[in-house]
Amino acid sequence: MIFDKLKPEVETIISNSNKSINKRLQDICKLLENHIEYYNWVGFYFRNEKKEELILGPYVGEPTDHTVIPFGKGICGQVAVSNKNFVVPDVSAQDNYIACSITVKAEIVIPIFVNGENIGQIDIDSNTPDPFTEADERFLEFVCKKVAGML
């Protein structure tokens, strides 16, 4: 399984303290986008400490206008409030979806917890309808746990 092969690579990126945190996050985005064919946009959003909003961090994929997302708005904003994984097999069926690109068909968002607090999330868009499985969720939870250990 591709996820098992990527886990050690994620750990290697995380453990490279010679690189900045942002550079390591960027490298994780590149790794996932390059090796999982249905991951078409991969990025991190982090909680703004002063406001109830998310700020876009490192990402790979098409540029996005959504650099700030209020809590509760869109899939990412809903995860900031619910503290739960959100898998969207068909974004067109979601009422509270912020469209980044007309090519996006599905999205998965997994929160990042540090000391029990939701401090951000990994967000992945796919141009493939309904591509995400429980294996994606478990793998991305692993990635988020490793990222949390670095923050």
Digit-coded pLDDT (tens) for 77-96: 999 999 999 999 998 887 76
Identify the pLDDT of residue 99. 65
φ, ψ of residue 26 in degrees (nearest 5): -60, -40
**Mean pLDDT value of segment 64-89:** 94
Question: What's the predicted TM-score (pTM) here?
Answer: 0.95
**Mean pLDDT value of segment 70-82:** 95
Sheet with 41-47, edge to edge strand ranges: 68-70, 53-60, 41-47, 117-126, 106-114, 86-88
CATH architecture of the domain 2-150 equals 2-Layer Sandwich (3.30)
Identify the pLDDT of residue 91. 86
